[in-house]
Amino acid sequence: MKGRIIKNVSNDYTVDVNGKLYICKPRGKFRINNITPLVGDIVDFSEIDNYIIDILPRKNELIRPSVANIDIAVIVTSVKKPDFDTYLLDKTLTIISYNNINPIIYFTKLDLLTNIELINIEQYINYYRDIGYEVATTPNELLTLIKNKTVVFTGQSGAGKSTLLNKINPHLELKTDEISEALGRGKHTTRHTELYNIENTFIVDTPGFSKIDFFGMTDIEIRDNMKEMFDNLEFCKYTDCKHIKEDGCRIIELVKSGKILTSRYNNYRSFIGKWYYD
């Protein structure tokens, strides 16, 4: 039979076939060939002994969290408790784009901001929208963007991923927890990766991207997966411009004029191991 893996706990894989669930284990050949089935995989399995026989070719895959065949990654981004982190957001956006997954930024906890803080955050929201990223701030707005897609939710611990999913579908009753005042971040409440079918939208809840990194990415690949670093490249003097100190660099001009956020540029330079722009 053919189905989709929707949950993995230890070595038990829950496979969904049109709403009917099977608990399966992978054949020994996967371990021998160093292949690990992932949540989101489409697999062939034996209904007789509930062993996964084969994994169909993947559209894409992520290492941390371990998921496959994703259309959209919703980056749940807290603006307070924990505070807004441009470094983590830009890093996640870049890696998600590199993996051929469409990112959507979802800002949470806007209601905790003062009026002055809200004006500051709105400038970031408008900037990310202006350079071409999809941004949402309400569950209904987000639902419109992810309808009929396979979606992974990610973001810093305590950003409100499980709370958001519960708002989208209260029947999920996902566990949430309070923010640690000492650490300034949330406690991990999601212990495993699981995929939920909500009105034909498949949503993956994961333990998080706490160890996300630029696995195997070159400096040029990092550059090309940050929208403004790539979209303005054609105006640079050199096609291999890394936007650091090259003559005729369009990006440096845009940073100096305030058209590119200094935080975005500083984060980019940090990603490729260069010094900060001042």
Alpha carbons 181 and 141: distance in angstroms, whole number = 31
Neighbour tally for 54: CB within 10 Å: 13
Do 219-271 and 62-205 fall under one CATH topology? no
> How far is it, in rounded angstroms, from Cα 108 to Cα 191?
22
Q: 58 Cβ partners below 8 Å, 6+ apart? A: 38, 41, 68, 69
Helix axes 86-98, 262-271, angle to 10 degrees: 60
Predicted confidence (pLDDT) per residue in 132-150, tens digit:
999 999 999 999 999 999 9
Alpha-carbon separation of residue 240 from 72, 132, 230, 234, 244 (angstroms) = 29, 23, 11, 10, 11
Give me the residue spans of the domains in the chain. 2-57, 62-205, 219-271
CA neighbours within 13 Å on the CB side: how many for 215?
A: 8
- pTM above threshold 0.85: no
> Two tokens at 184?
């300034």
Query: What pLDDT band is residue 175 in, cutting at 50, 70 and 90?
Result: low
Does pLDDT of 185 surpass 90?
no
**Cα–Cα distance for residue pair 112/198, rounded to 1 Å:** 29
Listed residue (236, 222, 278, 227) closest to 255, CA to CA: 278
Question: Where does 112-207 have alpha helices with state H?
Answer: 115-130, 139-146, 161-168
User: Quick one: pLDDT at residue 172?
Assistant: 64
pLDDT band at 232 (very low <50, low <70, confident <90, very high): very high
Q: What is the mean pLDDT of residues 126-135?
A: 97
- pLDDT value, residue 129: 97
Q: How many residues does the chain have?
A: 278
| Residue 8, strand partner residues | 13, 193
Per the CB < 8 A criterion, the answer to whether 195 and 152 are in contact is: no
Q: What is the pLDDT of residue 203?
A: 87
pLDDT digits (tens, 9 = 90+) for 99-109: 999 999 999 99
Q: What fold does the segment set 2-57 form as a domain?
A: OB fold (Dihydrolipoamide Acetyltransferase, E2P) (2.40.50)
In the chain, the percentage of residues whose pLDDT exceeds 90 is 69
Q: How would residue 174 be classed by pLDDT, with cut points 50, 70 and 90?
A: low
Distance CA 208, CA 29 (A): 29
Q: Which has more pLDDT, 150 or 172?
A: 150
CATH for the stretch 219-271: 1.10.40.50
- Which CATH topology does 62-205 take? Rossmann fold (3.40.50)
Name the packing angle between helices 161-168 and 139-146 (round to 10°): 80
68 - beta bridge partners?
61
SS3 61: strand
A 10 A CB-CB count for 112 gives 12
Q: What percent of the chain has pLDDT over 70?
A: 87
